[in-house]
């Protein structure tokens, strides 16, 4: 993950919590879709970069695969991404890097399988 900026300062006071067997799960899916469809330029799952639009060292095939995966996530977030979090017995993390006119920020979504709970926070660089 050495090509992505470090975003350590939380910019929202409150963390948002979502349960997988609750109406809030649909809200989580809608939020993820909004962020990935918006000014998302990198997606990281469990410290593995799966999409990075600014990595110029990728081959044409790698760029195509990353764009395809990003589109697949937008089309069905539950089946293409979150279901693996839910089925896993390990903690999972999804980081979505975003741009705005003032700074780079990151949406950090943590899944705790022991409590079937997603926690979303925003961090700035």
Smallest CA-to-CA distance from 15 within 113, 84, 112, 125 is with: 112
Q: What is the mean pLDDT of residues 52-58?
A: 88
pLDDT exceeds 80 at position 14 = no
pLDDT, tens digit (0-9, with 9 covering 90-100), for 65-102:
999 999 999 999 999 999 999 998 899 999 999 887 77
Residue 56 burial class via C-beta count within 10 angstroms: exposed 0-12, middle 13-18, buried 19 and up: exposed
Per-domain boundaries in the chain: 9-124
| Confidence tier at 124 by pLDDT (50, 70, 90) | confident
- Show Cβ contacts of residue 71 under 8 Å, excluding neighbours closer than 6 positions: none
List residues bridging with 122 in a β-sheet.
107
Q: Give the 3-state DSSP-derived string for 39-86, with helices as H, strands as E and coil as C.
A: CEEEEEECCEEEEECCCCCCCHHHHHHHHHHHHHHHHCHHHHHHHHHH
pLDDT at 3: 66
Residue holding tokens 């879709």? 33
pLDDT at 38: 87
Residue holding tokens 């963390």? 15
pLDDT at 1: 44
Q: What is the mean pLDDT of residues 113-118?
A: 91
| Cα–Cα distance for residue pair 107/91, rounded to 1 Å | 17
Of the chain, the percentage scoring pLDDT greater than 90 comes to 58
């Amino acid at each position: 993950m050495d090509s992505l900026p470090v975003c350590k300062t939380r910019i929202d006071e409150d963390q948002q919590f979502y349960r997988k067997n609750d109406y809030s799960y649909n809200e989580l899916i809608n939020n993820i879709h909004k962020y990935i469809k918006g000014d998302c330029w990198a997606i990281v799952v469990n410290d593995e970069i799966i999409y990075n639009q600014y990595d110029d060292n990728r081959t044409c095939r790698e760029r195509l695969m990353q764009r395809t995966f990003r589109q697949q996530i937008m089309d069905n977030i539950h089946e293409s991404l979150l279901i693996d979090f839910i089925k896993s017995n390990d903690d999972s993390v999804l980081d979505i890097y975003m741009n705005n006119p003032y700074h780079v920020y990151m949406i950090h979504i943590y899944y705790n399988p022991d409590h079937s709970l997603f926690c979303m926070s925003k961090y700035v660089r």
